[in-house]
Structure 1
């Protein structure tokens, strides 16, 4: 009879349960628990709500493993009591004897269910954090170590300066390999059947083609910039000033200079084979990779040097051939040896770079010389050689910002190979030298204008290029090569030299006078106007007033006899 009062109390509180249904629910707890749990669906959202009776649906509903794992750890709570849901509440209420006890039990159940939901959410967050990669822990450990080091380095200022410099110097991309290494790699990738192509690529890599082409560019620029006298210019052409005096001489000069440069570069690789293997930028050169034997390289250098000097000697003049031979000796003999002795090797290399413009200037001066027996003193130290020395000074000064920035980028390789370079022996002086010679480019370019070789347009072009390189040199000096300043100065120097040389050729004095009607001179064959009787009444032309009488020429001195 105790079941009837219990049922009445439940109906009074909002539940409709009969004694027969209560008995069936006790016999089949799984079905009744699912039916009675719908009243508490909104509170226990994480428990899946109503569980279907079929096996497939039950398997899906029980896939929420975190709820099961959580309650499996709470042994103090009966798993059957949790599963039965509201059935346990009904059973507890039926056993109580008062309505006050019933309300207390219901409040207890609700509080426990809320605590279970909160614990389930906490468990889910912990499971997600457990799946995070271990790098977060490593990062946290690293940050703690950084803080500890920062606290330790409070009394060590030099470490703070090193860390600040390292932060300003991010990891930069390495400069591209030189042309010799790239050609050697390309020759290795060629099939064995292409023997001739492999051999040609290997020999071309020995000549350092980029450097050789730069030498040819500076030589031909000086040759083309030489001022041609008006007496030798073509009277039929509207342009009284041309780029060169002879195309054939220009061809001999170009080919001879390239072969001489190839000889010097091959000897340099031959002497530095063991040291090139220690540097990442040069370890792919043909002699290091044994694509060619040292004996064959020596024969190639001998043939290039002999043929180049012969072409320069017979095609231009002996002075140009002598300058080329001096350049081969300075580069292969002195510069290559000094690299392992003193940092002064950079100045010797700059002298080597300044000789090719003198070669081109002497080639043009020897061709237009009025005397057949002109000496090397006349070609090098005469009044008209100022332009050649100005171009030589331009190339001499350009070597320092270009090479100082390059050597700073690969200073570790130079140190490993044992080459004495300012980039690693004295980095501060290395930056100062680059800045000093970058500023020297301004007066050197001005000397070409003051000497009368170029017009005012060259000042605009050269000043813009020099400001660009000087700006990068200042940044290189302030940051000591950090923050990409070395790379910026390197590429600025790469572009500055061709732009200045091309600007000098385009702005050569007198080049455009024929196109714009300037520099019109009267021909010596023009007949003078006949004198007329009477006054011209002020109608004289300015041209007739400015015309001078023909010079009194002694025909006997010129070999002409007076007719009898």
Structure 2
């Protein structure tokens, strides 16, 4: 399957078959090489995945948290998330080399050879999967593996086909709290976990669309289709962002209404959603790169602050 999608990447007219494969890697110190492999894991995204998983674990634990299982869940989730990020970079290494924002990543910059990157990423993925199955439970492992599979086999190649990739990518992006809840409870049938899924899903669409609007020229030059077809003015992009931001309000209330969270979370969650909404409206009114940048930064702040609100609420 990996080779199939790798072959598809060669269809882009802007990609030279030998552009990135035959460079001789630079001589790097051990520390520099370690740093390169760490960058390959997309540490920021991996941290966000682990944080989202922890929220699901805490809420899924009810009144009794097993800290031993929680630590195992953190380790397994980190491994599989890091491997997924690394394998995504392996699959997109040629395309990354065509964009200013990604050209200096370890693989397109030839600081890591593709084969080593592939072995590294797959080792992390399957080590994390095995760890979760053995040390946590098979359901948590299955959710994490589904996250990886959708991200790599559906979202990653779809980025060259249609902007629908944003909705597809929001699914694996929103599954970590489900995985955390499954790690704590051993089930994926409880409605609370899917409300957490909805928060991350609806957050991710405006977050990614803001980035896509900011970097539309860079994305387009590399063959990525990250904006709705024919959306030259950005009206579709901004409307989709606004709709998803509005939907955060009822989801936030439902978490409170189902008694999964208390008044502290409800108040903080609503205020954060309102702040997010203000910038989505500004982007709709004026679809400039500057407003897209503001929306992006607000979105970056929103999700961790919502998770902090969950933990604060638990304290009270």
TM over 0.5: yes
Aligned to 1:398: 203
Q: CA deviation at 1:227?
A: 4.8
Aligned to 2:309: 503
Once residues 201 and 188 of structure 2 are traced to their aligned partners in structure 1, the CA distance between those partners, rounded to angstroms, is: 17
1:321 and 2:137 aligned:
no
1:474 and 2:272 aligned:
no
Once residues 142 and 176 of structure 2 are traced to their aligned partners in structure 1, the CA distance between those partners, rounded to angstroms, is: 12
Aligned to 2:52: 218
Once residues 309 and 226 of structure 1 are traced to their aligned partners in structure 2, the CA distance between those partners, rounded to angstroms, is: 20
Q: Which residue among 284, 289, 300 is the counterpart of 1:494?
A: 300
Write the deviation string for residues 248-281 of structure 1: whole angstroms up to 9, x where unpaired: 2111111111111112112211111111111110
| 8 Å Cα contact 1:222-1:358 kept in structure 2 | yes
Write the deviation string for residues 145-172 of structure 1: whole angstroms up to 9, x where unpaired: xxxxxxxxxxxxxxxxxxxxxxxxxxxx
Q: CA deviation at 1:315?
A: 1.4
Q: Which entry has the higher C-alpha Rg, 1 or 2?
A: 1
Once residues 74 and 42 of structure 2 are traced to their aligned partners in structure 1, the CA distance between those partners, rounded to angstroms, is: 16
Q: CA deviation at 1:425?
A: 4.2
Q: CA deviation at 1:345?
A: 0.4
Aligned to 1:281: 101
Q: 1:227 to 1:448 in 2, by over 3 A?
A: farther
Larger relative helix fraction: 2
Write the deviation string for residues 227-253 of structure 1: whole angstroms up to 9, x where unpaired: 52xxxxxxxxxxxx45xx212211111
Once residues 280 and 218 of structure 1 are traced to their aligned partners in structure 2, the CA distance between those partners, rounded to angstroms, is: 29
| 8 Å Cα contact 1:415-1:424 kept in structure 2 | no
| 8 Å Cα contact 2:211-2:292 kept in structure 1 | yes
Q: Which residue among 80, 84, 93 is the counterpart of 1:260?
A: 80
- SS in structure 1 at match of 2:207: helix
Q: CA deviation at 1:450?
A: 0.6
- SS in structure 1 at match of 2:108: coil
Aligned to 1:348: 168
Once residues 93 and 30 of structure 2 are traced to their aligned partners in structure 1, the CA distance between those partners, rounded to angstroms, is: 24
Q: Which runs of 4+ in 1 moved over 2 A?
A: none
Once residues 250 and 423 of structure 1 are traced to their aligned partners in structure 2, the CA distance between those partners, rounded to angstroms, is: 40
- SS in structure 2 at match of 1:422: coil
Write the deviation string for residues 119-161 of structure 1: whole angstroms up to 9, x where unpaired: xxxxxxxxxxxxxxxxxxxxxxxxxxxxxxxxxxxxxxxxxxx
Q: 1:393 to 1:443 in 2, by over 3 A?
A: same
| 8 Å Cα contact 1:266-1:297 kept in structure 2 | yes
Q: CA deviation at 1:424?
A: 7.4
Once residues 396 and 404 of structure 1 are traced to their aligned partners in structure 2, the CA distance between those partners, rounded to angstroms, is: 13
- SS in structure 2 at match of 1:332: helix
- SS in structure 2 at match of 1:433: helix
| 8 Å Cα contact 2:87-2:121 kept in structure 1 | yes
1:387 and 2:160 aligned:
no
Q: Which residue among 182, 190, 206 is the counterpart of 1:362?
A: 182
Alignment of 1:324-335 (within 5 A): 324-335=144-155
Once residues 298 and 347 of structure 1 are traced to their aligned partners in structure 2, the CA distance between those partners, rounded to angstroms, is: 26
- Aligned length in residues: 290
Once residues 425 and 214 of structure 1 are traced to their aligned partners in structure 2, the CA distance between those partners, rounded to angstroms, is: 32
- SS in structure 1 at match of 2:188: helix
Q: CA deviation at 1:417?
A: 0.6
Aligned to 1:336: 156
1:465 and 2:299 aligned:
no
Alignment of 1:426-465 (within 5 A): 426=231, 427-465=234-272
Alignment of 1:191-202 (within 5 A): 195-202=29-36
- SS in structure 2 at match of 1:480: coil
- SS in structure 2 at match of 1:421: coil
TM-score by length of 1: 0.50
- SS in structure 2 at match of 1:203: helix
Q: 1:490 to 1:272 in 2, by over 3 A?
A: same
Over the aligned positions, Cα root-mean-square deviation in angstroms equals: 1.6
Query: Any gaps of 5 or more consecutive residues in structure 2?
Result: 1-25
1:418 and 2:223 aligned:
yes
| 8 Å Cα contact 2:276-2:299 kept in structure 1 | yes
Q: Which residue among 102, 120, 129 is the counterpart of 1:300?
A: 120
Query: Any gaps of 5 or more consecutive residues in structure 1?
Result: 1-187, 229-240, 367-378, 513-564
